[in-house]
């Protein structure tokens, strides 16, 4: 079985989990638009018509998806703060919402744990709050001494969510400035000066991340990988040495320095471009000019066989356009395409790719 996904920051995998008292799949907080999960379940068959065993395998996976959402419901936490930044001595007021994957207030957990961490990752304060009708509220006071300004973190979780690791925990970074010299002068916003990854007088409780280059480029092929000779959309993210987004423009070139395609950031250091990796060619590279210097980056590895999935959620108001592509080296296969939303199976389809491409819509 093979899994293919959308861009990396939109793919939500089904994790392996331990069965504790109860377990739940919890995604990060939903933003403005619902998050769709696309799974491409691939089974190689010998003939053009699937036998009963293959259909039984596909339907068994569909039933497993249904059972997962029924018996292991999702739970998520979102905190609404009274401000986007704070000063030394300020209170941090917050309202908490605990929801299920269907965006309904949750009745699963009755206790919420909220933590305040300093810039070094040390827990400074904890609030244990009673959840009533999926909601609760609380506050922290930034009056700990000694105080050092910087980016403080607020984390929130239920014990139910901890079955799935730290990725299930709500996290928000908030800038906390030095108290202004003139009371009420909120135009003054000064942070403790840091050197690289140093965090001043705070003990470093987190694992110290590696310092990046002046320009860093990460690539996220739609479908999860690149296949020789198959057109793919690639999302990318450009950051500086400490992870801040930067605006860049670049090109993809081959071994002879011939330009194959170009790309540019659209928003917050992110963008997208289309690219066809050709068979038998040495690995292509991305070239970026930034602040008078040129940087070169390897593209993701290219597979000799495989299937690419492209999803269009804009052209049709009531359905999703899905395109599956393969190269001539990849044998005809049967696929089950499933669409999940809020942890629940919405629709599915079984199909073959007898040619190099097939397109269809799913509601």
22-26, 272-276, 349-353: least confidently modelled range:
22-26
DSSP secondary structure string for all residues of 202-262 = S---SPPPPP--SSEEEEEETTSSEETT--EEEEEEEE-TTS-B---EEEEE-TT--EEEE
CATH, residue 228 = 2.60.40.10
- Is 355 part of a structural domain of the chain? no
Question: How much of the chain, in percent, has pLDDT values that exceed 90?
Answer: 33
The sign of the CA dihedral 45, 51, 55, 57 is negative
Task: Give domain status of residue 296, yes or no.
Answer: yes
Whether 110 is covered by a domain: the verdict is no
Instruction: Please check whether residue 188 lies inside any domain of the structure.
Output: no
Q: What is the pLDDT of residue 86?
A: 93
Does some domain include residue 331?
no
Surface-to-core class of residue 92, CB atoms within 10 Å of its CB (0-12 exposed, 13-18 middle, 19+ buried)? buried
3-state secondary structure of 290: strand
User: Which pLDDT value is given to residue 210?
Assistant: 63
Specify if 274 maps to a domain.
yes
pLDDT at residue 208, as a whole number: 64
Kindly state the helix (H) or strand (E) to which residue 112 belongs, with its residue range.
strand 111-117
Check pLDDT > 60 for residue 31: no
Q: Is residue 75, in this structure, part of any structural domain at all?
A: no
Is the confidence at residue 285, as pLDDT, over 50?
yes
Residue 258 lies in a domain: yes
Residue 37 has pLDDT above 70, yes or no: no
At 211, is the pLDDT very low, low, confident or very high (cuts 50, 70, 90)?
Answer: low
Q: Containing domain of residue 252, as a range? A: 216-303
Count of domains for the chain: 1
């Amino acid at each position: 079985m093979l899994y293919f996904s959308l861009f990396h920051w939109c793919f939500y995998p089904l994790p392996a989990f331990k069965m504790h008292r109860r377990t739940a799949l919890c995604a990060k907080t939903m933003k403005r638009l619902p998050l769709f999960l696309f799974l491409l379940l691939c089974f190689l068959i010998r003939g053009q018509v699937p036998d009963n065993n293959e259909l039984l395998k596909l339907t068994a996976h569909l039933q497993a998806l249904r059972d997962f959402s029924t018996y292991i419901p999702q739970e998520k936490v979102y905190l609404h703060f009274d401000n986007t930044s704070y000063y030394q001595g300020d209170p941090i007021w917050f309202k908490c919402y605990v929801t299920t994957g269907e965006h309904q207030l949750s009745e699963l957990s009755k206790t919420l744990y909220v933590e305040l961490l300093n810039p070094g990752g040390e827990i400074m304060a904890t609030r244990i709050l009673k959840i009533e009708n999926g909601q609760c509220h609380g506050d922290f006071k930034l009056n700990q001494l000694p105080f050092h300004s910087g980016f403080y973190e607020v984390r929130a979780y239920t014990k139910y969510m901890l079955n799935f690791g730290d990725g299930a925990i709500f996290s928000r970074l908030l800038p906390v400035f030095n108290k202004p010299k003139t009371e009420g002068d909120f135009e003054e916003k000064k942070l403790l000066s840091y050197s690289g990854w140093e965090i001043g007088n705070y003990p470093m409780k987190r694992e110290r991340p590696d310092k990046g280059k002046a320009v860093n480029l990460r690539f996220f092929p739609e479908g999860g990988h690149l296949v020789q000779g198959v057109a793919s959309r690639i999302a990318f993210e450009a950051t500086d040495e400490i992870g801040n987004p930067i605006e860049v423009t670049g090109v993809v070139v081959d071994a002879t320095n011939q330009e194959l395609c170009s790309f540019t950031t659209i928003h917050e250091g992110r963008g997208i471009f289309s690219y066809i990796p050709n068979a038998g060619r040495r690995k292509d590279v991305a070239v970026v000019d930034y602040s008078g210097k040129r940087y070169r980056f390897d593209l993701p590895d290219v597979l000799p066989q495989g299937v690419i999935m492209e999803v269009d959620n804009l052209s049709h108001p009531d359905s999703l356009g899905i395109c599956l592509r393969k190269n001539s080296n990849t044998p005809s296969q049967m696929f089950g395409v499933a669409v999940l939303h809020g942890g629940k199976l919405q629709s599915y389809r079984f199909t073959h790719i007898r040619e190099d491409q097939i397109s269809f819509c799913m509601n």
